[in-house]
Amino acid sequence: MKKIVGYSLIAIAGLLSACDKQLDQSPISGVATDKFYTQPADFIQGVNAVYSGLRTYPDRLLNLSETRSDNLYAVSDGGVRDWEGINSFYKTIAGNVYVTEAWSGNYSGIFKANSLLEQLSSKGAAIIADPVLRTQLEAETRFLRAYYYFDLVRWFGRVPIIDKTLLPQEALQVGRSAVNDVYSFIISDLKFAADNLPDAYSAAADKGRATKYAAKGTLALVYMTRSGPTYDINGPGLGVNEWNLALPLLQEIIDSKKFVFGTSYANIFSYTNENNPEVIFDVEYNTGSTPVTGATFPWLLVPDTWFQSQSKQTQGGLTIRPVSNDLLNSYEAGDTRKAFSIQSGFTNNNVTESRSFFKKYVDVSKTPSNRLDWPINFIALRFTDVLMMKAECILHGAPGSQTDVDGIVNQVRGRAGLTPITNVTLPRLMEERRKEFAAEGSRWHDLVRSGLIESTMTTWITKEDVGHFMQPFQKNYILYPIPQSELDVKPGLYDQNLGY
Amino acid sequence: MSVQQLLPKGIWLLPLFLLFTFFQAKSQDQAGSILITGKITDESGNGVPGASILVKGTGKRTNAKDDGAFSIPVSTGNETLVVTSVGFAKKEIPLNGQTNLTISMTSEKSTLEDVVVIGYGTQKRRNVTGAQASFNASKLDERPVTRVDQALVGQMPGVAVKQTTGAVGKGFSVQVRGTGTITAGSEPLYVIDGFPLSTSSVNAAGNFANGNPLDNINPNDIEDIQVLKDAASAAIYGSRAANGVVLITTKRGKAGKPRINVNSYVGFNEANRKLDMLNGNEWIDRFTEMVNAKYVADYGSKGALASDDSTRRRQLLGLGSTGYNTTYMTDPRWEDPAHPGLRFINWQDEVFRKGLMQNHQVSASGGNEYVRYYVSGNMARQEGMVINTDYTSYSARANVEINASKKLKFGINITPTYSITNDPGVEGKDNILHQVLSMSPVQEDTMGLFPNTALNNQYKWSNSTNSPYAKLKYILGQTRRFRTITSVFGEYQIIPGLSFKTTVNLDNTDNDSKSYTPYIVTNSLTTRLASASALASGSFNSYRKQTFVNENTFNFNKTINNVHDISAVVGFTYNSDKLDAQEIKSNGGYRIDGVPTLNMAYGYTSTTTETRNVLLSYLGRVQYSYDGKYMLSASIRRDGSSRFGANSKWGYYPSASIGWRISEEDFLKSIPVINDLKLRASWGKAGNYQIPDYASIPQLAANNYSLNNAPAVGWVTGNLPNANLTWEKSSTYDAGLDVTVLNNHLSASFDIYTRKSSALLLNVPIPWTTGFPTQLTNIGQTRNKGWEIDITSRNIVKGPVQWTTSINLSRNTNKLLSLGEGQSQIIIPSAFSGAQHSILRVGEPLYSIFVIKQTGILTQDDINKKVATFGPETVGDPKYEDFTPDGVIDLNDRQIVGHPNPDYIYGITNTVRWNGFDLSVLVQGQHGGSIYSLLDRALGRTGQGTVDNALGFFRDRWRSPDDPGAGKVGKAFSTFGSTANTDWLYSSDYIRVRMITVGYDLNRVIKAKKVLSAARVYITAENFFGHDKYKGGLNPEANNTDLSGNNFFPEPGDYGGLPLPKSLILGVNFSF
């Protein structure tokens, strides 16, 4: 028996040393990051992850630009809805989920970009033999990083510049940067992208990646946005008058002949005509994949009862966000865009909803079984926009003539079935943009850039909000508040925007 | 006032031995030996076989026979007999000349000579120096409990057992001395017969998603439960002991003739209450008021009046002659008192029922000097209080011990169990109960209980929910669980006093659940008609969970010179947990309706995942006691876990405790009123590692994009790594006092403690500029402080009536001491818009409720004085406190208005015996906590729409300045929106008569003692009486929904929880 005990002791001692190694468990169903980035495909997949940060961009535009603007009159029907306060100018929206998402979604994208840029600089040269591919991957990543920062600066003004992955203790030292510095960072990334991205991608599978022209178009919009008035709020406008820097970039896009002004408005957004020649840059979606890579923005502004009236399953819109009477009335007779963009009322289960809503992105026959999985792409920059941006630059004094401006506007009006006009002014151009880009999320930014926001919003609220559900507009509301959760992380690290 | 003054005079005067003066015996004063004969019995008069009888001061001993009879020779007839038997209190009987006596043993647990189970061993109760609560499970088989945790409610001080669900077969939440952690789990470690089960915590929604350690454990097999509360007693379990340790001992066989036990009960259970909701007429009243107000507000400029009829409204709204717009129009049939064609439905009445419950158990136990066994089989079935919900379980147990030689012992415990739960998803947000409550109480008569089901359309003025009654009828949700716990051990005595024990344990759970929702209870009618087959959905989930534990210990016990008691244990343990999970979900509907298996689905998606963690431990403990007066215990454990960072896998957990039995000191021995008095003090450190596996390693997360209409695979790091991630540690100081006075009539324990938890496993908020909102870090401190008192008073022990009272009362408060560097608070996110309501703020209790305070209803006077309002509020809307006085009500006006954990919990058990009858009553409750009811968000928010039903107190709403209601609910039609405020805040205080049992000893009437050693019949009523202040839900402890929407800040709450089941059962209990 003593022997048994002795053997047991030896056995235990042996067991102990064997067991110690068992404390190093690595994931069975996952991959530790340090085992990745071993072949070029890993880096391509890393860039894809940076693109994936765009997936919430269209919804954000609809929630923060379209809903806040005079295009929608989406005051409460009595329920608790996430956009409450966005549309009616409550001061207390620092905790709003959409506002928080605008911050977190973009910084998440920036982290992904920085993370990949670091992997590219430390391992890229050794693993990716093709220098062209390596540069292209860096250019795509920097384009996206600039895209995220540009989105941030338009919503929040001054934001922290993060150009590498940070540990929490490092991030706690980085405060908000001046708007001008943020722009410098954006412009440097976009210039690199414009210089190094391809004109187009030869492989069909790469359709949807950013091209040189996406970078140039975005850079042009950055210059134009910087040139807008400052309103003295540390917002996106710096009043710098760089319209003449934007114009040549837009002209390059036009002169490239790679893009075509679409002949049919509806066709631009057709489910069967994605990646058409009008598209310069879009956010891409497809349906039926796992994990889901489909879209939610198509139904975001559409009430669920309308889907019911079309015999479709529940979508996410739940309650209606009605189109404002102001926008409805502003369409000229015969404007074909109105019927395409807007559904005016419907009856479901013998109950009539008389208000209108945007259904621009919905093709009922394409309703997916999963409401989060719509297949349609969101066009973030299209050729018509480039043309109208050109007209805007000219109206602000960049080289060109009134004839050029009128020509562009009339080209757009013609497609919509409207008669030509002359002597187009800036307010008139913005009014034309409002209808051309309705539900595309550009209205708020257009008003801010053109300097028209204060007068437009104040007039509109007085006219439309007869029930006084809205608070008066203030210019401080051009910017959104810094999310409360970010302020709470370390009091004093960030200051709150004025007016909140 | 002294204790004695509180008591009836004379009750306690007679010492125990007087009981035996009835047995006057003639002394046989012969020289040499006198033969003493007699019988050892239990309280019911049944013989206690194998009881040991020792003549004090001599080596003479004998054992009682199977019928309890014994005989033993003595020399003078004035000796004292010492009688001991497992499960009974030791008894000393001075013979005083008697030669024939019947000695009745008391099976009271809290006697000092008891041996209690402690971590890695046993100890005499008198020597225990830690804070340890005991639960005597002997009455467990008389209560309609299907789970062990259910039986613990209200039984032990400092052990809060929350019945968070009324659904059948679900785990309870157990908290020992409050919660010290913010993110990591807070459930205790369960150890069954020495086998530490895998810890498992509630998820953010309050459910045990991957099983509760007590699932399928048959309460009828439990002998004893000990809860180790302070770190000194628990620290031997090291890194898993910070939340306390629950030691469960199952029944074993005793040497003696086979004993067969039959327990059986049958009864029913039903909801103990229903929620007060508006009835049909009241709902119509509210609807009409709101529709008219909205109509006038929107069309007043065009001449709309509240009195306009449908025709006039159609004109103004531009509708055709049959059109309806329910936003502005009511149903004309409402005005007719007979409401033709409509049916008023109390949905709660339709879905609640009386459910049958039954439980049948047969066990056999016995043994001899070589083998001892306990085997049992059990079948339990409980129909839930809601139709089509039930729980059935089958379990068996075999506990066998073999003495292979004098030195070598083997044993095996094996427990196969199988259970089936049917629950189509009753509790939680948007689940069936929530819809039962919020469903419009007025429906079309033609649809019966099936609005918006199959070919029925929805009633125009109703909410669009599919009939919850139909959902209960047609949705399938079934969970089947097969769990086997097996332990094998071998013990070898190396030298007397030193033995080596090794155990090998495996806990294997195979759990699968299937669900199927037919298309008839989904979507709207038009959608159902258009695409029926695509709307059905189903899933199959399963997991296998395995815990393997090997423990090896050396035990040493020695008594030197009768005064030095030394025991020691050292050991090594290996612990591995593995979880394999699978999921298959239908995709795109079913090809045919009515077949729930996924072979009929158009398509499916599926996934499998696996995780594993390993825990290695070394442990050691020394206990020393000197003459039963001075006690000392010290332990240390070293744990290493694969869950933690490369730099920090190992942690040490020391503890020490001392005890001083003052009553053994000479200066107290002379005070007869004090039978026992012991002071205890302890300190120890324990850990918590209840976080997910692999949390310290950076891992890739899928971030797919889409390119050219095809998925583009994307990968990026999905978490912030932390190579220094390590244990959350808590150190506890405890001081205690155990006292027994007044001839053992009154015994009490008092403990006071402070538990400080530090290096919390906290998902500390960090700037999003890192790419992440939080990082799992060891930072922050909390403190739990409190005291506990446990009193057992044998009020009446003599005579035909015997009465015992046990009272436990405890107070615990927690406080957040620090968060991340420089952080003073974290506002907990909310899963639901507009409902952020909790905060972690330094200096305040964890998860304090942080909302705006409602102070009344706005009057015209208020408006004139320009009191602060929330947005465009007007007369009749709620008035809020401008806490940060700036003239407006906004989020800056939030303040802490309560905390979720009760300050006090208590339980009182009274037991009375009389003439074969016994009565036991358990009253239990809590005080000082609050509940923030998110169910109110569905049933009682400001600005709530017209269609959903509203809580009953809405009938006392503000209607006009002349009819301002009860002052809580503002006017029905309001458009200012909603902000989290005190209108959903309720006290969570309750007091409840948890159990009443009346039993009768049938042996008194059926005279079958030869066959039946015990026969008892009883009736038990649970949860029949009680009181609480929760008007926004059905159970103040309900947890069923993830309120934060964030796993980092798990905050389960009530968004549609069932009431408690009240049950009445009739049971019998036979022993052969």
* pLDDT score of B515: 95
* pLDDT score of B20: 32
Tell me the average pLDDT across A229-247.
95
Tell me the average pLDDT across A247-274.
95
Q: Are B415 and B395 in contact, with CB atoms under 8 Å apart?
A: yes
Please identify which residue in the block is written with the tokens 């409402």. B334
In-domain check, residue A296: no
* pLDDT score of B11: 35
ipTM value for the complex = 0.93
For B96-150, the pLDDT digits (tens) are 888 888 888 776 544 445 788 888 888 888 788 888 888 877 777 777 788 888 8
Tell me the average pLDDT across B59-81.
82
Tell me the average pLDDT across B274-287.
96
Substitution target from B770, B832, B873 for chain A, most A beta carbons within 10 A: B770
Whether the pLDDT of residue A295 is over 80: the answer is yes
* pLDDT score of B466: 94
* pLDDT score of A420: 96
In-domain check, residue A101: yes
Q: How far B59 CA sits from the closest chain A CA (Å)?
A: 31
Whether the pLDDT of residue A260 is over 90: the answer is yes
In-domain check, residue A389: no
For B419-438, the pLDDT digits (tens) are 999 999 999 999 999 999 99
Tell me the average pLDDT across B932-942.
91
CA closest to B939 among chain A residues: A79
* pLDDT score of B831: 86
Q: Are B151 and B924 in contact, with CB atoms under 8 Å apart?
A: no
Whether the pLDDT of residue B510 is over 80: the answer is yes
CA closest to A352 among chain B residues: B325
Q: A51 is in which domain, residue-wise?
A: 9-256+447-489
151-190 in chain B: CB under 8 A from chain A = none
Tell me the average pLDDT across B826-853.
90
For B179-210, the pLDDT digits (tens) are 888 888 888 999 999 999 988 777 777 777 77
Alpha carbon of residue A287 to chain centroid = 20
Which of A184, A200, A203 minimizes the C-alpha distance to A192? A184
Q: How far B786 CA sits from the closest chain A CA (Å)?
A: 31
- Look at B704 and A48 and tell me if their CB atoms are within 8 Å: yes
Which residues on chain A are in Cβ contact (under 8 Å) with B457? 349
* pLDDT score of A80: 60
Question: What is the overall mean pLDDT for chain B?
Answer: 88
* pLDDT score of B13: 32
Half-sphere exposure of B655 (CA within 13 A, CB side): 41
* pLDDT score of A17: 61
Whether the pLDDT of residue B346 is over 90: the answer is yes
Q: How far is CA B5 from CA B2, B377, B670, B849, in A?
A: 6, 50, 22, 44
A142: domain CATH number is 1.25.40.390
Tell me the average pLDDT across A412-425.
96
- Look at B642 and A25 and tell me if their CB atoms are within 8 Å: yes
How far is the C-alpha of A54 from the C-alpha of A213, rounded, in Å? Answer: 18
- pLDDT band for position B443 (cuts 50, 70, 90): very high
* pLDDT score of B647: 83
Q: Are B641 and B695 in contact, with CB atoms under 8 Å apart?
A: no
Tell me the average pLDDT across B384-388.
95
Q: Nearest by CB to B766, which of A77, A274, A489?
A: A489
* pLDDT score of B482: 96
For B11-60, the pLDDT digits (tens) are 333 332 333 333 333 333 333 478 888 888 876 677 777 788 888 877 78
Q: Are A33 and A123 in contact, with CB atoms under 8 Å apart?
A: no
Q: How far A350 CA sits from the closest chain B CA (Å)?
A: 6
Tell me the average pLDDT across B242-262.
89
For helices A97-119 and A131-156, the axis angle rounded to 10 degrees is 160
Which residues on chain B are in Cβ contact (under 8 Å) with A488? 765, 823, 825-827
- Look at A293 and B943 and tell me if their CB atoms are within 8 Å: no
* pLDDT score of A447: 97
* pLDDT score of B1008: 63
In this structure, what token pair is assigned to residue B427? 């509790």
Name the least confident of A274-278, B528-532, B791-795.
Answer: B528-532
Substitution target from A311, A314, A376 for chain B, most B beta carbons within 10 A: A311
Tell me the average pLDDT across B282-306.
91
Dump strand ranges (E) for B518-563.
Answer: 537-560
Q: How far A393 CA sits from the closest chain B CA (Å)?
A: 33
For B533-566, the pLDDT digits (tens) are 788 999 999 999 999 999 999 999 998 888 899 9
In-domain check, residue A31: yes
CA closest to A3 among chain B residues: B494
* pLDDT score of B271: 95
pTM for this entry: 0.84
21-40 in chain B: CB under 8 A from chain A = none
- Look at A467 and B975 and tell me if their CB atoms are within 8 Å: yes
- Look at B822 and A491 and tell me if their CB atoms are within 8 Å: yes
Q: Nearest by CB to B826, which of A77, A168, A488?
A: A488
Backbone angles phi, psi at B759, to 5 degrees: 50, 45
In-domain check, residue A401: no
Tell me the average pLDDT across B1032-1040.
93
Of residues A11 and B332, the one with the higher pLDDT is: B332
Which residues on chain B are in Cβ contact (under 8 Å) with A472? none
In-domain check, residue A399: no
CA closest to A20 among chain B residues: B616
Please work out, in degrees rounded to the nearest 5, the angle formed at the alpha carbon of residue B57 by the alpha carbons of B54 and B59: 55
Tell me the average pLDDT across A311-316.
80
Whether the pLDDT of residue A76 is over 70: the answer is no
* Domains contained in chain A, number: 1
Sequence-ordered list of residues with C-beta below 8 angstroms from that of A318, at least 6 positions apart, any chain: A81, A303, A304
Whether the pLDDT of residue B570 is over 80: the answer is yes
Tell me the average pLDDT across B687-696.
86
How far is the C-alpha of A156 from the C-alpha of A136, rounded, in Å? Answer: 30
Dump strand ranges (E) for A230-349.
Answer: 279-283, 342-348
In-domain check, residue A20: yes
In-domain check, residue A18: yes
Strands B774-778 and B878-880: unpaired
* Neighbour-count burial of A493, counting CB atoms closer than 10 A to its CB (0-12 exposed, 13-18 middle, 19+ buried): buried
Name the least confident of A37-41, A225-229, A303-307, A397-401.
Answer: A303-307
Whether the pLDDT of residue B868 is over 90: the answer is yes
The radius of gyration of chain B's CA atoms, rounded to the nearest angstrom, is 33
Across-strand partners of B512? B480, B542
Which residues on chain B are in Cβ contact (under 8 Å) with A54? 705
690-719 in chain B: CB under 8 A from chain A = 693-694, 697-700, 702-717
Strands B355-367 and B342-344: unpaired
B325 vs A: CB within 8 A: yes
Q: Nearest by CB to B707, which of A174, A205, A314?
A: A205
Q: Nearest by CB to B614, which of A25, A46, A77?
A: A25
* pLDDT score of A3: 62
The top-scoring range by mean pLDDT among A109-118, B306-315, B737-746 is A109-118
Burial state string for A158-171 with b = 16 or more CB within 10 A and e = fewer than 16: bbbbbeebbebeeb
